[in-house]
Every structure is written in C-alpha cells, then in structure tokens.
Amino acid sequence: MHLFFKYGLLTLLWVQCLCSVVFAVEPTRDATQTILLLNSYHRGFKWSDDITDAVLTGFRDSSRYRLCVEYMDSKRFQTPLFFQELQSLYRHKFSQFPVDAIICSDNNALDFIINHGDSIWGKVPVVFCGINVVEQYRQRLDTLRFTGVEERIGVKRTLQVAKAMQPSLKEFIVIGDKTLMYPLFREQFLEGIRESGLDIGYREVIVETPEQLQAAFANQDLTDKAVYLFSLYLNNNGFVREMAIEARGLFKDLHVPVYSNWDFLIPDLIVGGALESGLVQGEMASDIMKQRLCHRVQSMPFAVPAPHQMMFDHEQLNRFSIDHRLLPADKIIFNKDKGIFARYKTEMIIIVGFLVSLVCIIVLLVSVILFRQRAERELIESETRLELALEGANQGLWDIDVLSGSMYVNPQVAWLLGYSSPKELGLQLEKWRNLIHPNDLSQLMETLLLHQSKRADFLSCEVRMKTCQGTYRWVSLHGKITGWDNDTPVRYTGSLLDIDAQKEFENQLRLAKEKAEESDRLKTSFLANMSHEIRTPMNAILGFADLVTTDLLSEDERRDYLLQIKSSGESLLNLINDIIDISKIESGQLVIVPEHFSVERLLEKVERVGQTLIRNAKKDLSLSIVSQGGVGGVIYSDSMRLEQVILNLLTNSIKFTHCGEIVIRYGFIDDNHLKFWVRDTGIGIAEEYKKVIFERFRQGDESLAKQYGGNGLGLTISRSLVKMLGGDMEVTSTPGQGSEFVFSIRTVPAEVMV
C-alpha cells in the first residue's frame, strides 16, 4: 500500500510536469494560488465592477486563492502607445510577482493576453468572460488552456419583445459610437434583425458627445419609433463619461422607449430587454476557474454562453404606457412602487431617533434648570466705595459666587464689551467661558490652577474677550480667591483693564519688524538672483565673444556664436529694462502716454512675437487670439505699456506651458473698460502662491523659480502698469490644469470720443 501510494504520487507529479507546457507550473493543492483578474475597462464602470464583485465573492470562501485585480481602462484609452505602456507596466509589476492563472473580462483584455500574456505572465490557464463573437478566437487559441464564458447579447429576443410590447413599432434608432466594440455589436444587431423576421426598419446614429446625442433627436418625429442603445460612453468636454450616467438626463425629456442588452442600464434609462449581467459572467468565470485549478474535469468546452435575463424597468413601462401583460413569463421587474414605510424607512428612523434624542435633551435641560433654580440664592453686598474707585479708574469689577452660581459684573465691564448695561450682557457663571477666546482659555485655566494650588498669590493674565459685535478685545485680568470652604475655593473677586490699544501697538511693532525682515530677505534674495541672472548672459556674451575672435571658426559657427551673443544681450537688456521699470514705478517717474491705436494691429504684433517664442522654445503649443465683440477701430490708451503687459503674460504662459494651448480673449465690458483674458494649459499656480506672485522679487514656489528662471518682476510690473492704465489684474488657476490672468484698462473707443 505504501509503495502504491509512493509510485502513484510520483506518477501524478510526472503528469503535472507534462501538463506544464499548457498550464505552466502549478503549486500543490495546499499552496496558495495567485489569480489575476484583468478587466478591460476601468474601476467604477458598473459592468466591470459587477464582474469583479462576483469573482471576489466566488473565491472569498477559500484561503487557497489570492486574487489580484487590474483595470486596463481600454474603453477610454485605445491608442497603440497606451497599450505599449501598459505592457511595460505589467511586465515590471509582475516580474517579481508570478501568477498561477488569469481571469480576463471582455475582448480587449483577452486580446492583450493573446498578444503579450506569455511574455508577462507565462503560459498559465486563462478563463475569459464577457467575450463577443467568440468563434473568431477558437482557431487562434489553445482550447485546452483557454476557456470561458461567451457574451451573446440577446438582440433577437429583445427585438421580438419590443415589437410585442409596441405593436405599432416601425423603426429603431440605433445609437452607436466609434469604440472598437461597436462594429461587433452592429453585426449582432443586423443578425438579430434577420433572424427575428420582423418587418422593422432601423436608422444608425453614431454619437460621441452629449450634444451629438441631443442633435440626433432634435426636430424628429418619434412616433412609432424606439431607441436601441449600443453606445456606452460619451465625451463630455474632454472627459469620457459613461452613457448610463450621461443619458439619464438626456433621455429624461425624450418621449421614446430605449432598449439595450446590459443590466447596468437599469433602472431609469432603458425599458428593458434580454440583458447580459456582469454578476452572472463573473460567477460563471470564477466557477470554471475553480474547476480548472482543482482538476475536477478532464476537458471543458471552449466557451459557455451566459444565460440572458429578461429584465424590465417598472417606471419606464408605466412612462410609455406598456401593458405588463405583454411581458414574457420569465420577466424580472425592477423599480417597483414601494409602500410609504419601505420608501421612507430611513427617513422615518432618523426622525424618530431625533425626536427621542430631543425629548431626552429637553428632560435633561429641564432637570438642570430646576436644579440651578433650587440651588441659586441672591447675593447682595455693598460695594459702593469700590465701584466709585473702579469707575474713576475705568476698570471693570467681577465677582463670582461658586456656591450660588451667580456672577456679578459692574457697568464698566459691560461698556468695555460694547453692551449698554450688565443686564444686557447677561453674563452667567456657566457661560463665562464663551466670552474668552478659545486660544486663551488654556492659559487662563493654567493661571487659575496655579492660584488655586497656592503656588501664585494672585490670578493675573492677559486674554481676549468677545464683544457684542463678535470681535475680541484684549484685557488684563486680575483677581484672587476671596472665599474658601475646607480648602475649596467658593468665591473669586477681581478686576479687568482694557489693554486693546497697547496690544494693537505691540502687534504693529511686530508686523513692522517682520515686514522689515521680509523686505531685507527679499532684497538679499533679489540681489543674489540678479547676480545670477546678470552673470549668466554676461558669461555667454564674453565666452562667445572670445570664441568669435579666433580664426579657426567656420562662417556658420561664427554666425551661430554671434546670434548667441545677440540673444544673451537681449536677455540682459530685458532684465535691465525690468529693473528700470520697477524703479520708475516705485519712484513715481513712469508716465503713461496715451495715444490712438488699433487693438487688432497691436494683438497681431503680439501674436507674431508669441509664435516666434513658441517656435524657439520648440513646444507643442497653439496660440489663438479671440475677440469677444465690440472692439473695432481705434482706442485711446498707452499702446506701448499695454503691449508690455500682454507680452509679459504671454511669455509667462509659454514658459510654464509644455503642451496644449494659449488663448488671448479681449472685449469691452462697458463703454469705458476694455478687458483681456490670457488663459493657458500650463502647470498652474498653487493657492498659497496666488497672493505673492504679484509682489516684488517673488515667484511663488522657489523650486519652480530655479527650474524656469526669471527675476520675479514681470507680474509686479504688469499689475502696476495695469493699475496706472486705470484697471486691475487678477488670476485664477488650478495646479496641473493651467492659469488665467484677467485684467482691464480704462479707455474710450474712438467712435465714442468723436
């Protein structure tokens, strides 16, 4: 028996080695096996999420399997470069993380495994699901290694059910898209038309955006028509969004039934049909994979078709007045009306819970109030002399009786906090903390504990107290414990003095000191930056000038070096001009010289300069200038300074934008103000740097300043010039998405001046 077991085990191991050509090397039954679930689409797409949930549920009850889930996102990204990068990513990611088997969902994932899977994961068993037109794969694949679930969309049965529910139906409007899957769906639709034998016409509409979908139904007679939806994505302003999300709003006001073949389009979008379910596909795929890994069967069919489910939306059936008796017997109806308790179960639980909590709170508050009323007693003491002295010194008096819970303050305290009388202040012992600034409360409590423990003779600290206007005033708080009961303080008495003016003076001194230090730091940084900015072009000028003097240069080299000298000289001149401009602006010597000029001609010049800068920078940028209307002829302003501002903003956009577009828009916002918008798709500006970029010598993030260069004066000069031209400048930006600088100048169109 022992020998039989020994040789039987050796024989089994030998068979496993022979099968490794097909299935790769599999671990023993007791080892944990790693299964990769490769989804064609992205996380959040209902179809992929249903398959993923079903597969995870199928393997959740066993510790023998470890699942790894990947999303290719191929529905939204379909370029060859994307798949090439995806291949590199998976090869690197799984180089040290081998898998024992793969479950793939939908055609793109299966195609990827066929083309690249062996080089990335090896020849491991593959179970597919959600595959359309599976016969095209049978001749290409090893059917011993590949098996799975076929997605045969139930077009024929859906057409027959639609015709039965709408006897007058004459035409289907087929909504498709330009994805790789739509041609497969279209062929299956045409085959379903032929096999159904129905005399129904169809009209094909290819849409990519919500606007195209709306335009397809604009001014159309939809009588005796229905929609057959195959497009599952729409491009909304550059973002690819699911049709299941976008179309619910688009079809809301469209009185035409919509049919399709996927269950994630229910509820509130399609009437129904013979629907494919991602959950069913995932469950079947996980069952097949477990059978394969456990070797429960010797051979398996190449593809098993998933059963259709006849699903319908109750609300959509009622919306189009479809008789429920016309539905097939195996129907499943969603979105049925619920009873009032089931419909508002959560809300009712919340309301009941809130009412119970409210009753408890009310009972608690009533108990506290009754307790306070029983415990309170009025304390009357004569403090006439002290009150007179405090009034003369303009000091507030406070007195706290802990046992009675009463708190007395004189009129000076109320006046200090902006109230007309202590009664209006209404200060109570349990609410005195509300008057103290939260940041000062811990300091006050620490001082009070020191005095209570007799480590300090007096209570003395400076705190901020809240006024009736909601602001805070600084006061100097002094006092001591004037009553004890067995080493327990029962009475506190003291005074407070207004020191808000003193604190404001101290704060101004501190701000002035910080501003001086910041100014000194900025000047030092500016000098260091200017030293670098001046030294760089000077080194280039001197270096290339020295090379030009030699006789060993060719004519082309000499011309190139002279151009480098010219470029460095222009950079140095621009830097000097910026320094001169900021000096003139700060000293008030810069003068605005208005004249009549054409905005269009000025912007044509700006566009030529911008195109030259883009070419020199060798960037993939587009520059466009757009008129908002209302600008024509000649205006009256300083053309040179306006051009300087626009060129500064354009230069910055080119510097900080690697690809995309730069758009300059302009137009009159009223008869006296001309407005400009300069928008780019660059790196953007973080929120914390939006306020400092207009300050002298500041460039926001210093790391970016070192990377891109610059002296930190361009925006300062531009904003100052705009203000001198009678306007102002603002910026809106999102990091990673771009920036938009907006400014306006005061001017008068020439036709208005005449």
Q: 496-507: buried (b, 16+ CB within 10 Å) or exposed (e) per residue?
A: bbbbbeebeeee
Q: Which amino acid is at 340?
A: I
Residue pair 473/485 in contact (Cβ under 8 Å)? The answer is no
Model confidence at 301: pLDDT above 90: no
Q: What are phi and psi of 417, to 5 degrees?
A: -95, 10
Name the residue with higher pLDDT: 157 or 14: 157
Model confidence at 151: pLDDT above 70: yes
Short-list 41, 39, 104, CA closest to 74: 41
Measured on CA atoms in the order 122, 123, 125, 128, is the torsion positive or negative? positive
The pLDDT value given to residue 531:
65
Q: What span, in angstroms and rounded, lies between the C-alpha atoms of 73 and 68?
A: 16
pLDDT bracket for residue 700 (50, 70, 90): low
Name the residue with higher pLDDT: 380 or 405: 405
The pLDDT value given to residue 361:
94
What number of CA atoms fall less than 13 Å from residue 213's CA on the CB side? Answer: 26
The pLDDT value given to residue 742:
94
Q: Give the pair of three-digit tokens for residue 26.
A: 């599999």
Once rounded to an integer, what is the mean pLDDT over residues 531-538?
69
Model confidence at 27: pLDDT above 50: no
pLDDT bracket for residue 18 (50, 70, 90): very low
The pLDDT value given to residue 15:
31
51-86 tens-digit pLDDT: 999 999 999 877 888 999 999 998 778 788 999 999
Model confidence at 23: pLDDT above 60: no
Q: What are phi and psi of 524, to 5 degrees?
A: -60, -45
* Residues forming a β-bridge with 226: 172
- Ramachandran area for residue 419 (φ above 0: left; ψ -120 to 50: alpha; else beta): beta
445-473 tens-digit pLDDT: 888 888 888 888 888 888 888 888 888 88
Q: What span, in angstroms and rounded, lies between the C-alpha atoms of 653 and 644?
A: 14
The pLDDT value given to residue 17:
35
Entry pTM:
0.43
pLDDT bracket for residue 665 (50, 70, 90): very high
pLDDT bracket for residue 378 (50, 70, 90): low
Q: What span, in angstroms and rounded, lies between the C-alpha atoms of 305 and 152?
A: 7
Residue pair 271/326 in contact (Cβ under 8 Å)? The answer is no
The pLDDT value given to residue 284:
94
DSSP-derived pairing of the beta strands 396-401 and 406-409? antiparallel
Q: Which amino acid is at 258?
A: V
Cα distances from 587 to residues 532, 584, 591, in angstroms, run: 25, 5, 11
The pLDDT value given to residue 386:
59
Once rounded to an integer, what is the mean pLDDT over residues 644-672?
89
The rounded percent of the chain whose pLDDT value lies above 70 is 86
Name the residue with higher pLDDT: 568 or 24: 568
Judged by average pLDDT, the poorest of 16-25, 59-68, 551-560 is: 16-25
- Cβ burial, residue 175 (10 Å; 0-12/13-18/19+): buried
Question: To 5 degrees, how large is the angle CA 598–CA 600–CA 605?
Answer: 100
684-696 tens-digit pLDDT: 888 887 777 877 6
Name the residue with higher pLDDT: 275 or 300: 275
pLDDT bracket for residue 538 (50, 70, 90): confident
Highest mean pLDDT among 391-395, 534-538, 681-685: 681-685
Judged by average pLDDT, the poorest of 9-18, 483-492, 647-656 is: 9-18
Model confidence at 296: pLDDT above 70: no
Q: Report the mean per-residue pLDDT for the chain.
A: 82
Q: What span, in angstroms and rounded, lies between the C-alpha atoms of 328 and 344?
A: 32
Residues 6 or more apart whose CB falls under 8 angstroms from that of 16 comprise: 25, 26
Q: Give the pair of three-digit tokens for residue 603.
A: 């912007």
Please give the torsion angle defined by the CA atoms of residues 104, 109, 111 and 114, in that order, rounded to the nearest 10 degrees. -50
The pLDDT value given to residue 550:
77
Q: What span, in angstroms and rounded, lies between the C-alpha atoms of 692 and 699?
A: 7
Q: What span, in angstroms and rounded, lies between the C-alpha atoms of 627 and 625?
A: 7
Measured on CA atoms in the order 453, 458, 461, 467, is the torsion positive or negative? positive
Name the residue with higher pLDDT: 133 or 629: 133
Name the residue with higher pLDDT: 683 or 6: 683
CA 231 to chain centroid: 26
The pLDDT value given to residue 316:
86
Q: What span, in angstroms and rounded, lies between the C-alpha atoms of 72 and 690?
A: 38
The pLDDT value given to residue 346:
80
Model confidence at 3: pLDDT above 50: no
Q: What span, in angstroms and rounded, lies between the C-alpha atoms of 283 and 52?
A: 9
Measured on CA atoms in the order 714, 716, 717, 720, is the torsion positive or negative? positive
Judged by average pLDDT, the poorest of 11-15, 221-225, 243-247, 573-577 is: 11-15
Cα distances from 604 to residues 425, 694, 747, in angstroms, run: 67, 27, 20
The pLDDT value given to residue 86:
93
The rounded percent of the chain whose pLDDT value lies above 90 is 23
